[in-house]
Amino acid sequence: MSDQPSGAKPKRFPLTLDAVTDKATRSRATVAPRFNSTQTAVKNVAARAPVLVKSSPPSVLNTPTEKSVANVANTVKRDDNMTLVSDAIRKAMVKRVQQQGVQDPLVLAAMEAVPRHYFLEPGLASQAYIDASLPIGYHQTISQPYIVARMIEILREQTTGKLNRVLEIGTGCGYQAAVLAHVAKDVYSIERIKPLHELARNNLRQLRIPNLRLHYGDGMLGFPQVAPFDGIILAAAGLEVPQALLDQMAVGGRLIAPIGEKNQVLKLVLRTGVFEWKTETLETCHFVPLKAGTLG
Ligand code: SAH
């Protein structure tokens, strides 16, 4: 999710990575190199970063020394501490999302369960819990926490318990797919940019989510092999909902998609019969564009 690219670059972030995450010790050797991303997401970060500083306990700002990181015993201890810190900051993020209007307890619990900092490169992981989209490379972004939660809440309205089969178009770094896997029995997610598909695979590996399957391909074609879906969620904005996706909705199913170019709105599509769909227009939003075809 993103505003339009602006060419802005981050000048300074208030926290170091080590201050909030154990990610520095995790290997990213298998991740393909990234291109420089120039997106307003970066501006969002700079603008919103002080919120994190304010809401963080002072101890968060104490960066462990290199010596302590080098020591195995200390590293274990440090990881425990950092896990506690990221848990606390994530709770604060969920509280903000709730204050912004998301009420579904299952969605809020899912947001609390998924470590968003696992999905960002080390240089940005310390910003993981602010309410902003952030660059993930290839001119794409990880969506803002509020919109991730809101879209899933909309998808789940009228559902008691978990959704059955859900399709996400636009895996990106894999964050929203991981959240979806907490509220649905089976989640399929498609990404058209191969290095991002691989990045998501790598990010998700350590979380070991058995009910999530990633697929490299053009999501505008859907996933006919496993259709129909009870829920479809698009993480990129087109001018209209692709017909293939409408066809792959189960009767009674719901689809949520950002629609538009510069001015975008969230649209909810309900399949009310074999040959009948109803559409509702919800709030405004800003997503990267939905594009046809694949990029290897
Ligand atoms: N779901 C992500 C957001 C990813 S940004 C999150 O968890 O935050 C949107 C993604 O949609 C980008 O990675 C982009 O490459 C992808 N995308 C755009 N058009 C697509 C298409 N036709 N099929 C699959 N993915 C697409």
* pLDDT tens figures, 202-238: 999 999 999 999 999 999 999 999 999 999 999 999 9
User: What atom of ligand 1 comes closest to residue 238's alpha carbon?
Assistant: 19
Look at 21-35, 115-129, 132-146, 222-236 and tell me which has the smallest mean pLDDT.
Answer: 21-35
CA distance 141 to 133: 6
Distance 42 CA to ligand 1 centre (A): 18
Q: Is the separation of the CB atoms in 203 and 236 below 8 Å?
A: no
Among 12-26, 216-230, 256-270, name the one with the lowest average pLDDT: 12-26
Which residues, listed in sequence order, are joined to residue 233 by a DSSP beta bridge?
Answer: 168, 256
pLDDT value for 257: 98
The mean pLDDT of 155-171, rounded to a whole number, is 95
| DSSP conformation letters of 174-235 | SHHHHHHTTTEEEEEEEESBHHHHHHHHHHHHTT--TTEEEEES-GGG--TTT--EEEEEES
Tens digits of residue pLDDT in 279-288: 999 999 999 9
Closest by Cα among 212, 15, 216 to 120: 15
| The ligand 1 atom nearest the CA atom of 293 | 22
| Cα-to-centroid distance, 87 and ligand 1 (Å) | 27
Local structure of 3: helix, strand or coil = coil
If you average pLDDT over residues 7-16, what whole number do you get? 36
Residue partners of 286: CB distance under 8 A and separation at least 6? 1, 2, 3, 133, 258, 264
Cα–ligand 1 centroid distance for 218 (angstroms) = 10
To the nearest whole number, what is the mean pLDDT of the chain?
80
* Whether residue 134 has its Cβ less than 6 Å from ligand 1: no
Residue type, position 45, single letter? V
Residue type, 149: A
Identify the CA nearest to 256 among candidates 196, 170, 127, 139.
Answer: 170
Separation of CA 221 and ligand 1 centre (Å) = 14
**Taking 90 as the threshold, does the pLDDT of residue 250 lie above it?**
yes
Q: Counting atoms of ligand 1 from 1, which one is nearest the CA of 174? A: 7
Q: What share of the chain is helix, strand, coil (3-state, %, to 5)?
A: 40, 25, 40
Answer yes or no: is pLDDT of 199 > 90.
Answer: yes
Q: Which of 1, 131, 140, 194 to mutate to test the pocket of ligand 1 (most atoms within 8 A of CB)?
A: 140
Instruction: Report the pLDDT value the prediction gives residue 84, as an integer from 0 to 100.
Output: 74
56, 133, 143, 189: the active-site residue: 143
Q: Report the alpha-carbon distance of residue 100 to residue 213 in Å, rounded.
A: 30
Q: Which atom of ligand 1 is nearest to the CA of 119?
A: 7
Amino acid at 192: R
Q: What is the pLDDT of residue 86?
A: 87
Probe target for ligand 1 pocket from 141, 191, 218, 259, with the most ligand atoms within 8 Å of CB: 191
Dihedral sign for Cα atoms in the order 71, 72, 77, 81: positive
Active site residue 143: yes
pLDDT digits (tens, 9 = 90+) for 96-106: 999 999 999 99
Q: Is 245 in the pocket of ligand 1 (CB under 6 A)?
A: no
Q: Is the CB of 238 under 6 A from ligand 1?
A: no
How far away, in angstroms, is 56 Cα from ligand 1 center?
31
